[in-house]
Amino acid sequence: MEVVDEGSDGRVARVSLLRTPLFEAHRAAGARLVEFAGWEMPVQYEGIMAEHAMVRERAGLFDVSHMGQVEVRGPRALERLQWVTANDVSLLADGRAQYSLLLAPDGGIVDDIIIYRQQADRFLVCVNASNREADVAHMREHCAGADLVDRSDEFALLALQGPRATEVLGELTDTELSEVSSFAFVDATVAGVSCLAARTGYTGEDGWELYCSAASGPALWAAILDAGRDQGVGPAGLGARDTLRLEAALPLYGHELSLEVQPFEARLGWVVKLDKGDSIASAALRQARERGPERKLVGIEVPKGGIARQDHALLDGDRRIGTVTSGTRSPSLGKAIGLGYVEPQLSRVGSEIAVEIRGRKVPARVVALPFYRRPD
């Protein structure tokens, strides 16, 4: 697929999009394909609402092979990851994963990532597709002394998410998946395919992310769908992935997170471990913590009158107090929800504000996050 791209000089060029190892499976399934972060990806199959409900009620299978994977190895791997990330990597044992942030020296967020400790001197870092090249360059600059290998093109990455995910995968492996805790991972053979099977995800549901060789991706995809068919499990696209993550108040880079955002503003102070020792942004983040954030990320509910969308203004009376970063009509809750940044004094749950929608001031209020929690 080619898309038209107009550069800063006004010239128009046709740009070829990247495709994951599962592209032909998506096309055969009748997926609606769109451009996302330079990739031709399925946004939906049956429909976003149906796929959203499938994940919440049963399980859905996502292709997230566009994500990047960077291996950090060698005797200084832990030391350098400690330097360039927010969380405390030394807390990880073999077979454990950690949500963290790649940081710039001023405390800005380069990316949000997951770190998998495979051995004491070997880590796998999963990065966002849109940031892959920038992340690798940033890590090479600030992780000198460790061996960095961009292995992104070697992997297919499948995410089976939902309350029946473990049951479905259990039919395809001899590994006792029920004994694997959240944010842990194991090496497993699933449907004859060697995988790193991690109990992680981006939907607010229990589930698994399966890293396998790119060549094995299509066979694994087909096997999982076949095993789950009788339980109502099917493929899900990026549209449902976005509504699911928003209900769970999970941030998306380029929306809630950016180089202009610091962790304390983004409700990610819990990721920052300043007591681990000096790191690339520790001085900047200590100062930020002492002075307090100038804005805070909040949950927004719009009772009636429209849906808050990215870049809509948030108002207190006629005064602009912030900006919407993500918004949708929640399929699970049946109401308009959004995330956005506001001035700290208006970030308290229950604060009455407004959102500007198509030139109209529509009443909204700040609500507790996450919007949705899965049943125990």
Would you give per-residue pLDDT tens digits along the chain (376 residues)?
A: 555 455 555 554 556 899 999 999 999 999 999 999 999 999 999 999 999 999 999 999 999 999 999 999 999 999 999 999 999 999 999 999 999 999 999 999 999 999 999 999 999 999 999 999 999 999 999 999 999 999 999 999 999 999 999 999 999 999 999 999 999 999 999 999 999 999 999 999 999 999 999 999 999 999 999 999 999 999 999 999 999 999 999 999 999 999 999 999 999 999 999 999 999 999 999 999 999 999 999 999 999 999 999 999 999 999 999 999 999 999 999 999 999 999 999 999 999 999 999 999 999 999 999 999 998 7
Same domain, 263 and 135: yes
Range of the domain at 299: 294-367
CATH of the domain at 305: 2.40.30.110
303 and 158 both lie in a single domain:
no
- How far is the C-alpha of 184 from the C-alpha of 98, rounded, in Å? 9
Domain end marker among 232, 257, 291: 291
CB contact burial 58-73 (16+ within 10 A = b; e otherwise): bbbbbbbbbbbbbbbb
Please indicate, yes or no, whether residues 339 and 309 belong to a single structural domain of this protein.
Answer: yes
Q: What angle do CA 96, 102, 105 make, to 5 degrees?
A: 140
Q: Which of 291, 306, 338 lies at the terminal end of a domain, its last residue?
A: 291
Give the total number of structural domains in the chain: 2
* Residue 374 domain flag: no
**Helix or strand or coil: residue 51?**
helix
Both 55 and 166 in a single domain?
A: yes
pLDDT for the residue numbered 1: 52
CA separation (Å) from 61 to 28, 38, 43, 73, 233? 15, 21, 13, 31, 8
257 and 343 both lie in a single domain: no
Residue 249 placed within a domain: yes
Matching residue, tokens 């992104």? 152
Tell me the DSSP string of 189-255: EETTEEEEEES--SSSS-EEEEEEEGGGHHHHHHHHHHHHGGGT-EE--HHHHHHHHHHTT---BTT
Half-sphere exposure of 189 (CA within 13 A, CB side): 2
CA–CA gap between residue 324 and residue 356 (Å, rounded): 10
Residues 162 and 70 in one domain: yes
Residues 283 and 300 both lie in one domain: no
pLDDT for res 7: 52
**What pTM does this model have?**
0.95
Co-location of 87 and 172 in the same domain: yes
Q: How far apart are CA 240 and CA 246, in angstroms?
A: 10
Cα-Cα end-to-end distance for the chain? 43
Q: Which of 258, 291, 324 finishes a domain?
A: 291
Do the beta carbons of residue 318 and residue 228 sit within 8 Å? Answer: no
* pLDDT for the residue 375: 87
Same domain, 305 and 330: yes
**Per-residue pLDDT at 11:** 56
Note whether 97 and 203 are same-domain residues. yes
| Same domain for 131 and 27 | yes
| Residue 345: DSSP 8-state | G
Q: Does residue 202 sit in the same domain as residue 333?
A: no
The CA angle 103-120-181, to the nearest 5 degrees, is 80
Please, what sign has the CA dihedral across residues 300, 306, 312, 313?
Answer: negative
37: left (phi over 0), alpha (psi -120 to 50) or beta: left
Q: What pLDDT was estimated at residue 10?
A: 56
Determine the Cα–Cα distance for residues 213 and 65; give it in Å rounded to an integer.
10
Query: Alpha-carbon distance 57 to 206, whole Å?
Result: 11
